Structure 1
Amino acid sequence: MLKKKTKYGLIGKNINYSFSKKFFNDKFIKENISDCSYENYDLKSIKEFGSVIKDKSIKGFNVTIPYKKEIIDFIDEIDPIAKNIGAINTLKINDRKIIKGYNTDYLGFISSIQHLIFDQKNALVLGTGGASKAIIYGLNSMGIKSTNVSRKKTRGTVRYEDLNEEIIKENRIIVNCTPIGTFPKIEESPKIPFEFLTSNHLCYDLIYNPEKTKFLKESEKMGATIVNGKKMLENQANESWKIWNS
């Protein structure tokens, strides 16, 4: 009798573009892991997760936009760091069918950026979603103070329209955590005053498709160091794999 494959997958919405499925299935082939597979679970609503989880051969998920916060209501346990961040990107299902949530995004981010940081002390984080929460946690872990930039003024945030030369000069790390500029809408970009960027700035975009977004292109024109989200994704995926096999 053939052994049933262990399944893993990605939960998200409109995720045909996703990196994760190819990354893991390539990994399984390369490392001769023949008893595992990885699929996309494109959910119109997080409520559909209840039917997905009925498949007893699934042992773990990655979670992406827009469900990193919503998924918390559907799990049994949460790792303390993920609870602190307030967002989940990894689920592990143990033999007792207990679903535990983790966040590996912040680890992927730190390992992809720390070699580029020298004396920067302040950062602007564009967006307020689940991804931004992990980035803020990662920045704080490296001793960098961060400020959220949002379309609406709320406590502790700055509006895009309020960004000026002084704020840009004070914050020499700028991280785009919004989906603005993702394929196919590659001509779009967060509205920041690029003209105030310098060669002392580090501009990071969590987007990896396209490899160089308009946000990164405009930043590069001003001499800023630029990084896309590909390495972060690879790093966080490897951290997820460690959790599933722990």
Structure 2
Amino acid sequence: MEYIREEKQLAWLLRVYTVLFAIGGFLFMLFPQIPHFFELKPVPEGIIETLKAIGGALFKLVSSGDHWNVEVTIPERFWVFSFFSMMMTITACCFITSLDVRKHRKLVIPVLVEKSFGSSAALLWFLFVCQSTESVCWAGWRIEYFPWFLVFLSDFPLFVLLLIFYLRAHTGAIPESYVTGGVDKQNYKPMLVGEEETTVSIVKGEDKLRTLDQVVTDSRLFEMLEKYREGSGKEKADFKIVIKPN
């Protein structure tokens, strides 16, 4: 199947997302030991602790405070399993769609939903729920909630980028071979797949030539070829087709 340029670009983006989401999901699930570079205590033991440590390091740059909490709570550990299953789901959606963006294009929608709702919810939570009047805060927000803001910073650009590529890769567009040939889009429109219902003609007879002529007439083959010729912009003398026997 021939894809237009925008569809090929969407497929490449989805391949990148497949790798990105798979790695991210397994990192959070397995909680690998990550070296800390921020001289914080206690030492970060995994992804969430490291993100909180980064928030603490930023806090240290703008405040004289010496204490912050980087301990991961039980609820945070509990939701890691749901996060892992969600990441594997959108990884599968991206991978399947990248194999055939025209056939499986709708599988991009769950990824868009996840990224849009996830990033917006994280931002709203960080802005309105994570505010604190305690001393361990900066600009009204507790530093230990910094990972919530990182969710927005990472997911929202991914959502916007995927949405743009998804809208550009519309189905039923003109293949590159016709675009490079300078075919007028309006003339090509009647040639698009799905514009008309498929006609199936079944004729039985001893005379094969007469039977073939009947099939050609019933299926309106010559009318269809005329549409293709008009879409190609060629004269009848220059328009050629190849019919392969089944």
Q: TM class by shorter-chain length?
A: under 0.3
Give the helix-richer structure, 1 or 2: 2
Q: What is the TM-score when the length of structure 1 is the normalising length?
A: 0.26
Q: What is the TM-score when the length of structure 2 is the normalising length?
A: 0.26
Give the number of the structure with larger relative contact order, counting CA–CA contacts within 8 Å between residues 6 or more apart.
2
Larger Rg: 2
